[in-house]
Structure 1
Amino acid sequence: MDPLYPLNASDDFNATNGTNGTNGTNVSGNSSDGFNQFVQPAWQITLWAVAYCSIVAVSVVGNMVVIWIILAHKRMRTVTNYFLVNLAFAEAAMSAFNTVINFTYAVHNEWYFGLVYCRFHNFFPIAAIFASIYSMTAIALDRYMAIIHPLQPRLTSTETRVVIAVVWMLALLLAFPQYYFSSTALLPGRTVCYINWPEYTTVNFKKIYYVCVTLLIYFLPLGIMGCAYTIVGVTLWASEIPGDSSERFKEQLIAKRKVVKMMIVVVCTFAVCWLPYHVYFLLHQFFPELFEQRFIQQVYLAVMWLAMSSTMYNPIIYYCLNSR
């Protein structure tokens, strides 16, 4: 299973007859002419394996370094940095627990890891992505309050921890349906991990859920951050630093600009990496016939790689744009 949605348009099927509930094809991946669309040459699998393992190595090491730097140095424990720790933890965990497993299932179309991990594998990434993007949203709102309303009281460290806890509670709640409806099925020659969505005559629960997830973990928070950073950017860069300003004022303004610039790059990187992924699965929900082509697995692997690669860029961005 991929982090958010079902593998290769085969997320829910009738386990009694082994057919895909979306398009009626055999979930073993064999089409009517006997061609197995999931088989790839060894060299192709090797290249994809190197690409995916590179994500895990860079993401886990980079984000753990970020967490250590902030938690081990007292002067680094600011509100913004607490949210950066939460962001780094979510990205490192998703990379470590899901990326390689995801790749293995995508390549083989066979689930080797049991029911418990099947449920975790479908459940955790949505929670992690939710926690990631709403950590970024919290940083954007904190920057907005600090710059646009500097006289208003700021979040304390205790309040920041409460916000982080609430974010994770909402994340787990949003992801719970993926856990609850996850299951495994033994088909001739292989085991699959899938989501057995309930079927209603009047409501397509699966489509409604995926559309809501996309809105809640992509478009809504990006819209909030876009508005916040636009206002902050106009405020910070609209006018030059007055020549008669004190040296301390100039340093503070430059520092604020650097932090905002860094976070804008982080948000834009996230948006670019995840946009193809969300478009891919929204198209699948409404135009499943587009996903019956033999090349779709390569498209899926490329889209998934780009989405998962978002977990490794932030430590690099921090290093390049923030000397602290």
Structure 2
Amino acid sequence: MSEINDTDFTVDSYTEYNNVEEYKLPETVTYILLVLHTISSGISLSGNVTIIIQNAMTKRIKSPVNYYLTSMAFSGILLVVFCVPFTVMMNLVNYTWIFGRFVCSTLSYAQTASVIQCSFTLMASSVNRHLAICRPFRPKQSARTVNGIILGIWIASFAIPAPIAYFSTIVAYNDTKFCVEVWPTNTYRQSYSSVIMILTYGIPLLVLMVTYGHITVILSKRPPGEECEEMVARRCSARNKNIKVFLLAFGAYCVCWLPIHVITIVGDVNPSIYDLKSVHVLWLFAHWMAMSNSAVTAMITIFLKSMFSSCLSKVFRKRTESDVSHTRAELSARRMTHETIL
């Protein structure tokens, strides 16, 4: 741990530490944020665990979609378990860092890794859906290929934010401790923040706009489902539902993470905005929105996939009933033939 001084920090860069007492929130605002974090964390944890269990138990439909959704569920759990409790304690309860250097180094690192994993997975799934629809006769990705892609995403997710773990440290101002990133210069900090913004927001937005825009054009030119057989129509419906899952998930990702990205980028360019208590309150609500993204994504997935599972179970039940009826008719015909011969 180090003390805040002119060697480590400049007044212009870290003026937010000059009046620590001013950042204590009114009790009403604190309680509202605590309730919001509790609700969103509970939904995220239970929802993502449900997704993992459901996909693990659904052995009939081991599709790339389920692999990607399971990977995103693990990312959501990582965010809730390793990030939310510590940031809530620091920002809403103690107003000082009490968890030591190791947790300080891993907190923002794990948060950024989770964000990168989610955005990269959304990109991979969109490319997978694009290939499946644009090239329907091409063999779909095998489980080994999908698992390899997911493993590569996780490795990249933990490698890219390594500088955050390296530059994160504990600093002290009077009797208050903070977990912050201490970069050699503000230029490095701003450049890295811009790179993370592009990787987790700009590029995914561009990729999903191109892939799903092309998918929409292709589907609009194909004949309606009524001209297909029933099973083909149901498969088309399931495919479209999977597209909706990822589109809504990405929409939720964009909405939830945009405010904190904007505040961070503006704060890197002009750190004096953090002197305003209103900006501090806005940051706390923006942080809650970002942390609640995994809960929103889990609810979207459970709602749409449960509808899909219900539809799928009806298909299997109908096929089973059809097979049973066919078997009974065949046995009855054989019995009648046997009696005729006798």
CA displacement at 1:30 relative to structure 2: 1.4
State the distance in 1 between where 2:28 and 2:246 align: 38
Q: Which residue of 1 is the match for residue 194 of structure 2?
A: 211
Q: Matches of residues 169-248 of structure 1 in structure 2 within 5 Å?
A: 169-199=155-185, 204-241=187-224, 243-248=226-231
Question: How much has 1:195 moved relative to structure 2?
Answer: 1.2
**Which residue, out of 281, 299, 304, partners 1:316?**
299
For residues 53 and 20 of structure 1, do their structure 2 counterparts lie closer, same or farther at Cα, with a shift above 3 Å needed?
farther
Q: Give the deviation of 1:167 after TM superposition.
A: 0.7
1:112 and 2:98 matched:
yes
Does the CA contact (< 8 Å) of 1:23 and 1:288 recur in 2?
Answer: yes
Aligned partners of 2:106 and 2:10: how far apart in 1? 22
C-alpha RMSD of matched pairs (Å): 2.1
- Match for residue 6 of structure 1? none
Distance 1:94 1:282 in 2: 21
Alpha-carbon distance, 1:269 to partner: 1.0
Give deviations 1:269-321, integer Å, cap 9, x for gaps: 11111111111111111122333212122111111111111110122112332
AA matched with 1:182: S
Contact 1:14/1:21 (8 A) holds in 2: no
Identity %: 20
Cα pair 2:168 2:179 within 8 Å, conserved:
yes
**CA separation of 1:149 and 1:281: change in aligned 2, threshold 3 A:** same
Please give the residue correspondences for 1:36-185 in structure 2 after superposition, counting only pairs within 5 Å. 36-107=21-92, 108-185=94-171
Aligned-partner residue type, residue 16 of structure 1:
N
Structure 2 length as normaliser, TM-score?
Answer: 0.83
Contact persistence 1:103–1:301 (CA under 8 A) = no
Shift of 1:118: 0.3
Q: How many residues align?
A: 305
Gaps of at least 5 residues in structure 2 are 310-342
1:186-222: CA deviation from partner (whole Å, max 9, x where unpaired): 43212221111123xxx81111100000000111012
Secondary structure in structure 2 of the residue aligned to 1:112: coil
Task: Give deviations 1:53-81, integer Å, cap 9, x for gaps.
Answer: 11111101110110010012212421111
Is this contact kept in 1: 2:105–2:169, CA < 8 A?
yes
Contact 1:19 1:25 in 2 (8 A): no
2:7 aligned with 1:21: no
Task: For residue 150 of structure 1, give the secondary structure of its aligned residue in structure 2.
Answer: coil
Contact 1:52 1:100 in 2 (8 A): no
Cross-structure match for 2:326: none
Structure-2 separation of matches of 1:80 and 1:25: 44
Distance in 1 separating the partners of 2:177 and 2:132: 53
User: Partner amino acid for 2:129?
Assistant: R
Secondary structure (helix, strand or coil) at the match of 1:23 reads coil
In 2, are the aligned partners of 1:236 and 1:257 still within 8 Å (CA)?
no
Q: Is residue 239 of structure 2 the alignment partner of residue 256 of structure 1?
A: yes
Q: Which secondary structure state, in structure 1, belongs to the residue aligned with residue 125 of structure 2?
A: helix
User: Using the alignment, how far apart are the partners of 2:66 and 2:14 within structure 1?
Assistant: 49
List aligned pairs for 1:269-284, cutoff 5 A: 269-284=252-267
Instruction: Give structure 1 stretches of 5+ with no counterpart.
Output: 1-12
Give the residue type in structure 2 aligned to 1:173: A
- Write the distance in 2 (CA, Å) between the matches of 1:17 and 1:113: 25
Paired amino acid for 1:196: V
CA–CA distance in structure 2, aligned partners of residues 294 and 246 of structure 1:
62
